[in-house]
């Protein structure tokens, strides 16, 4: 086996081969479909921020999301890799620290649990005051966890 990394730190991770299965009220779905059809990046970003950044949004975060929203809406993260990671987690043979934000959507927490169960010896860390944008919410705590883990 060829090892390309010495450690792995997934943060608020999705996983290829695993659909998040996010569901939304029908009215929100229709509004999101209209925004996408009209290529309204601001509105699309607004929907993303409602879901992924419930702890609040500043100008810089909104700008970053608007600039990247087309990618995030392009397809389900479950389809990002071929072959997908789901079903192959047991092949990961490097130290792994799975980090999640306590205020993230439950579906991301569920992915964290899948990673913990599937990767032998994986450790978990929960950042209490973070939603999906963990590096934005708690950069110092995140850096500290990673540095401690890598030491």
| Domain boundaries, given as residue ranges, for the chain | 26-75, 80-150
pTM reported for the whole predicted model: 0.87
pLDDT value, residue 79: 61
Bridge partners of residue 8, in order along the sequence: 96
Phi, psi of 49 (to 5 degrees): -65, -35
Supply the Cα-derived Rg of the chain in whole angstroms. 16
Per-residue pLDDT band at 82 (split at 50, 70, 90): confident
Task: Give the distance from CA 48 to its chain's centroid.
Answer: 12
Per-residue pLDDT band at 46 (split at 50, 70, 90): very high
**Mean pLDDT (the chain, rounded):** 91
Per-residue pLDDT at 53 exceeds 90: yes
Per-residue pLDDT at 78 exceeds 70: no
């Amino acid at each position: 086996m060829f090892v390309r990394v010495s450690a792995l730190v997934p943060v608020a991770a999705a996983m290829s081969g695993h659909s998040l299965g996010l569901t939304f009220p029908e009215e929100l779905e229709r509004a999101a479909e209209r925004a996408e059809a009209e290529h309204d990046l601001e509105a699309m970003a607004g929907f993303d921020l409602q879901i992924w950044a419930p702890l609040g949004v500043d100008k810089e975060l909104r700008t970053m999301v608007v600039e990247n929203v087309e990618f995030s809406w392009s397809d389900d993260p479950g389809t990002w890799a071929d072959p997908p990671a789901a079903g192959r987690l047991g092949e990961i043979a490097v130290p792994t620290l799975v980090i999640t934000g306590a205020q993230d959507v439950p579906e991301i927490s569920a992915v964290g649990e899948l990673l913990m169960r599937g990767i032998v010896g994986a450790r978990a860390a929960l950042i209490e005051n973070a939603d999906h944008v963990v590096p934005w919410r708690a950069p110092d705590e995140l850096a500290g966890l990673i540095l401690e883990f890598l030491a």
